Amino acid sequence: MLILISNDDGVHAPGLAALASAATALGDVYVVAPATEQSARSHGLTMHDPLRVRPLGDQRYSVTGTPADSVYLALNHLLPRAPDLVLSGINRGSNLGSDVHYSGTVAAAREAALNNIPALAVSLSPRSRDESRYHYDVAAEVAVEVARNLAADPPPHGIFLNLNVPDLPREQILGIRPAPLCERMYAPLVQEGRDPRNRPYYWIGGPARGFGGGDHTDGALVERGFATLSPMRLDPTAYEEMARLWQWFPNG
């Protein structure tokens, strides 16, 4: 089995190294990932600047672009054939609820799914600021367990998976729980500053305020100690609203 691994934390991130190492138990691993951190770049593609690819040896490449760029280049140019599986991560931080709309980690998996390749995004939900103590090895072990099932029983076209693992020793993780996405809430924040030439600049993005949606959703379950697995669709159409729009435009 040929496996492609990408991420949004950059090709040298420890989470990617842990996932790539664990994935060798599944097959032949290629790594194609951004040269630098691309967190919260969502599904952006670089259309107006050249991309540069740097071979790093041993089936590893860095790309001067986004996670979606990396997967696109891998599928259409760098790999010897289409991979059987794409794994993205392990992200430094969770991707729960509305995070999936911004996440480059999720976008790399989505890009694979757009090409009809089974795909899994993997994120670690930290409980401290000391990354040297993060349990990336545990998250990689859980990801490989999920990936084995994904390869053996892939979902239909248009579906990919989002895995969040709490930052805990393996024996403290309560299980892998299928779960819908929560409502992830953040405080709105725009912080203005002045550069040395007295021109304004801004930082955006406030701290997390918690989760909504119920105890059965991914955010609440990860906080309790479960790893959560959420199926996601490529098609975002709200079909239940089509009847309302036909009422607006009955002769359309």
pLDDT digits (tens, 9 = 90+) for 14-43: 999 999 999 999 999 999 999 999 998 999
- With a cut of 70, which residues of the chain have pLDDT below it? none
Beta bridge partners of 63: 34, 53
Residue 74: its pLDDT value, please?
Answer: 98
The beta strand positions in the chain, using DSSP E, are 2-6, 28-34, 53-55, 60-63, 85-92, 119-125, 159-166, 176-178, 183-186, 190-194, 200-204, 208-212, 227-233
Residue 130: its pLDDT value, please?
Answer: 84
Residue 207: its pLDDT value, please?
Answer: 85
Residue 140: its pLDDT value, please?
Answer: 98
Residue 185: its pLDDT value, please?
Answer: 85
Residue 174: its pLDDT value, please?
Answer: 97
How far, in Å, are 12, 80, 166, 246 from residue 250 at the CA level?
55, 51, 49, 5
How far, in Å, are 11, 20, 60, 153, 161 from residue 84 at the CA level?
21, 15, 17, 12, 15
Predicted model pTM? 0.94
